[in-house]
Amino acid sequence: MTEIPYLKVTYQASAPGSNDEIRSVIGFNLSSIPAGANVTAATLHLNNYQIDGAQGNFQPVRVDHVDFGNTIEGADYNNAAIESDYANYDATVGWENIDSTSQIASAFTNAKSWTKDSSSNWFQIRLRPDHTTADGIADQQLIYSANAGSGKPYISVNYLTGGIGTNLPVPVVTNEVSISGDNFADQYATNIISLTQGIPILSISKSISNVMLGGVPVSTPIPGATVTYIITYSNSGTGDAINMLIYDQLPGITVYFTNYMGTATGWSEAYSTNAGPDQSWGSADYTAGPPGGAVKSNVRWIRWKKALVPAGESGTIFYQVIIK
C-alpha cells in the first residue's frame, strides 16, 4: 500500500501535441451534523504545499461540486458536476479558504452516502486546472492530503440547531477526508474542530408608564390625556441579534405625540400612516421622523430599528400618544 501525502492539480505536455491534465477528488464526511440543522456558513480549507513550473499555465484552479457516489472510478474525474466551477483561485503556498456555504447545505440536504458508512452525509469536490499554455513541463499545484503529517484538508461548518430562544452550543463539524485511486487502498483521516456559537434570546414587554392631563397625573385615561408607553427589550442569550425591528401600532382612538429613548441606544425611529405596512427591514412604507403637521396626526405605526443588539443588552424606549 502506498500512502499519498499530496493531491495534484497539474497541466503539462508530456509529448508534442499531447496535453495531460491531472485532477483530484476529495470527499468529506458530514455525518456529525444533526438532522434538521440549518447550515449558515461553510468553508473549504486546502493547504497548498508546493507550486511547480509556470503557475499561469494551470491557474486558476477550479473547484467543482461533484457526486462520485460510493466508489471513485476513472470517469469521476471527468463526469458532469453538480455545480461546475463554483469557486476558483490562483494557488499560492499556504492555506486557501473557499466559501462553500450553498454547496455544503445542498450536499447535506441531499444526504450523500458512502459505502464505508451508509448513514453518512458526504460533500465531494473535484479540483482541476485551467488550460492555458502547454510547455512540456509539469506545471502543478501540490495540496496536502489526508495522509499528510499536518495541514490536512478540512471543512468548517457553522450551523444552528433548535429554534429561536433555544440556547444550544453550535459545533463547527467533525469531518473525515478520503483519498482513493486504482493502485492503492482507500485512505481516511478525521479532523475535529469545535466551537460554541451563541444564540440570541430576545424578550419584549410594553406597559403604561403614566397618564397625564394638563401636567397632572390621572388614574383613568380620558380624552385629551397624554399616555406614555414604555417598551422594554432584552437579549439574554449568548449571541448577538442581527437587524432588529421593534414596531407598534397606535391605538385607534389616539394621536401620536412624541417618542424618546430611555436606556436604549443606537435605535433609529420611523413612522407609517398605512393601516398595514410592510414590516421588512427596508420597507418603503416607513418614513424617518419625527413626523410633523398633518402627517403627525395620521401616524398609525411607529417602528425602531437597530443593526445589532449584542448579547446581554437591554433597554427602554418611550413614546406618547394623546387620547382623542
231 in any annotated domain? yes
Give the dihedral of Cα atoms 76, 77, 83, 84; nearest 10 deg: -160
**What percentage of residues in the chain have a pLDDT greater than 70?**
68
Tell me the pLDDT band of 44, cut-offs 50, 70 and 90: confident
Query: Is residue 314 within 8 Å of 232, Cβ to Cβ?
Result: yes
pLDDT of residue 14: 47
Q: Is the pLDDT of residue 291 over 80?
A: no
Q: Is the pLDDT of residue 204 over 60?
A: yes
Among 173, 193, 213, identify where a domain stops: 193
Question: Average pLDDT of 134-150?
Answer: 67
> Are 178 and 210 in the same domain?
no
Query: Is residue 75 within 8 Å of 90, Cβ to Cβ?
Result: no
Residues 6+ apart with CB under 8 A from 259: 269, 290, 302, 317, 318, 319, 320
> Are 33 and 157 in the same domain?
yes
> Are 172 and 208 in the same domain?
no
The arrangement of strands across the sheet holding 301-309 comes to: 241-249, 301-309, 268-272, 287-288
Question: Average pLDDT of 281-301?
Answer: 83
Pairing of β 154-160 and β 18-22: unpaired
Residue recorded with cell 437587524: 243
Helix, strand, coil percentages in the chain from 3-state DSSP, rounded to 5 = 5, 50, 45
Nearest C-alpha neighbor of 314 from the set 233, 239, 251, 242: 233
Query: Each residue of 303-321: pLDDT tens digit?
Result: 999 999 999 999 999 999 9
> Are 63 and 92 in the same domain?
yes
> Are 166 and 209 in the same domain?
no
Residue 72's φ and ψ, nearest 5 degrees, are -95, 120
Q: Mean pLDDT for the chain?
A: 76
Among 149, 170, 193, identify where a domain stops: 193
Domain of 206: which CATH number? 2.60.40.2260
Q: Is the pLDDT of residue 296 over 50?
A: yes
Pairing of β 226-235 and β 301-309: unpaired
Question: Average pLDDT of 194-208?
Answer: 78
Q: Tell me how many domains the chain contains.
A: 2
The size of the chain, in residues, is: 324
Query: Each residue of 85-110: pLDDT tens digit?
Result: 899 888 778 888 999 988 887 766 65
CB atoms within 10 A of CB 182: 7
Nearest C-alpha neighbor of 53 from the set 130, 128, 126, 134: 134
Residue 230's φ and ψ, nearest 5 degrees, are -120, 125
1 in any annotated domain? no
> Are 47 and 164 in the same domain?
yes
Question: Average pLDDT of 62-78?
Answer: 78
> Are 114 and 231 in the same domain?
no
Q: Alpha helices of the chain — where are they, by DSSP H? A: 101-110, 293-298
pLDDT of residue 227: 92
pLDDT of residue 117: 40
Q: Is 76 helix (H, G, I), strand (E, B) or coil?
A: helix
* Entry pTM: 0.49
pLDDT of residue 265: 92
pLDDT of residue 73: 74
Q: Which domain holds residue 264?
A: 202-323
Quote the CA–CA distance of 246 and 306 in Å, as a whole number: 9
CB atoms within 10 A of CB 199: 22
Among 135, 158, 193, identify where a domain stops: 193
Pairing of β 61-66 and β 122-128: antiparallel
> Are 174 and 245 in the same domain?
no
Question: Average pLDDT of 186-203?
Answer: 65
The alpha carbon of 244 is separated from its chain's Cα centroid by a whole number of angstroms, namely 17
**What percentage of residues in the chain have a pLDDT greater than 90?**
24
Quote the CA–CA distance of 145 and 181 in Å, as a whole number: 13
pLDDT of residue 186: 55
pLDDT of residue 42: 85
